[in-house]
Amino acid sequence: MSKRSLSSLSKEDLSGKRVLVRVDFNVPLNDEGAITDDTRIRAALPTINDLIDKGSKVILSAHFGRPKGKVNEDMRLTPVAQRLSELLGKPVNKTESCVGSDASSKVGAMLNGDVLLLENVRFIAGEEKNDLDFAKELASLAEIYVNDAFGAAHRAHASTEGVTRFLSPCVAGYLMEKELKYLQGAIDEPKKPLAAIVGGSKVSSKIGVLESLIDKCDKVLIGGGMIFTFYKARGLSVGKSLVEEDKLELAKELERKAKEKGVEFLLPTDVVLADNFAEDANSQMSTIDAIPEGWMGLDIGIESVKLFQNALADCQTVIWNGPMGVFEFDKFANGTNSIASTLAEISGKGCCTIIGGGDSVAAVEKAGLADQMSHISTGGGASLELLEGKTLPGVAALDD
């Protein structure tokens, strides 16, 4: 999916032009309404700064939360505008609505190099319906379109897909370009051996990814709660560990498919058990064939960590999606933290390490190792869908 990038537009192309930039500013807030993690805002800075430097009038479009097409005072982008202003070192004006008279007049008053943040685009019902009348009104504010919101690229919404029918050129921002280069590159043209580490609690949420990765990878390593569905499918007793009873046949099928294709399909050999799902639960280590009744697995064990480290040692590309255990509880975070440390180590030796969105990103950041990975994806669902080989509407809509 080779798409035209912002880097193809010169100062002459952009100076004085009104540029609509779709960004992903869906950041977490605390109870006081303060931003607790500004990673997504910082990730958009290269694109925004480039447009400022080239004299564009930068009009930012973003969503926040799920207001379901109605104004929700708790989901206004006011704290985002304040934080962006601090990061840019210049004022960032904000509109009352993403379209309408206030938006039009504030856009009309912009000077070259100004930045304007449109209010939450999901306050308008037409956004998630990809309503073309709304898309046309939004697009009328600008002349050029840049999509830098990889995290929303798997949605065909008015601000990600609809507006491209009314603006030209439509190009990828630098974050979008980087996401596609790493994630698409890892699937289409990886340096081999290619390994995927897939974790998380449920097989059902990762079916498409597992099927796709078994087709592409040399090694697939499985962790997290989903391992117990595989064990039960093998006929092992798993105590009161999480099992998806309706996915037992699928688990057998995935193992069979991996074997047929000659893919090394690794499941943990030991686990850390708890007597209940709590931070202060009693815990013990067990091999997978000796899990006692009344106990549940909440992390992979020490021997499994060694097994996985050995499997990753010769890899040239590694994609990681999903934690190895309940890393939010320190007692059950060793598996996830050990994998994060291992990836940081092999990254330093030239392996391309890609953290594919969601909880694995949180885990790597919690371990303080984010800056040692080759690429950390900003998209949860978008990363998964790209790894599954699906077309992302927000990417497909951009100029080739």
User: Which of 314, 288, 312, 310 lies closest to 299, judged by CA?
Assistant: 288
User: Which of 364, 313, 304, 361 lies closest to 340, judged by CA?
Assistant: 364
Rg of the chain (C-alpha set): 23
Reading phi first (left if > 0) and then psi (alpha if -120 to 50, else beta), residue 239 is in left
Owner of token pair 């499994």: 304
Contact (CB, 8 A) for 274 and 267: no
Reading phi first (left if > 0) and then psi (alpha if -120 to 50, else beta), residue 130 is in left
**DSSP secondary structure letters along 349-367:** TT-EEEE-STHHHHHHHHT
Point out the catalytic residue in the list 202, 234, 257, 366. 202
Point out the catalytic residue in the list 357, 358, 379, 394. 358
Query: Can 381 be counted among the known catalytic residues?
Result: yes
Point out the catalytic residue in the list 185, 380, 381, 389. 381
Q: Give me 103's structure tokens.
A: 């938006």
Name 290's Cβ contacts closer than 8 Å, sequence gap at least 6: none
Q: Give me 386's structure tokens.
A: 């790209």
Point out the catalytic residue in the list 18, 22, 40, 106. 40
What are the φ/ψ torsions at residue 387 (nearest 5 degrees)? Answer: -65, -30
Q: Which long-range contacts (CB under 8 A, 24 or more apart) does 128-134 make?
A: 128/69, 128/155, 128/157, 128/158, 129/158, 130/156, 130/157, 130/158, 130/161, 130/162, 131/158, 131/162, 132/158, 132/162, 132/165, 134/99, 134/158, 134/162
Name 37's Cβ contacts closer than 8 Å, sequence gap at least 6: 27, 28
Query: Can 66 be counted among the known catalytic residues?
Result: no
Tally of CB atoms within 10 A around 46: 16
**DSSP secondary structure letters along 212-276:** HHHHH-SEEEE-STTHHHHHHHTT---TT----GGGHHHHHHHHHHHHHTT-EEE--SEEEEESS
Which amino acids are annotated catalytic? 40, 202, 358, 381
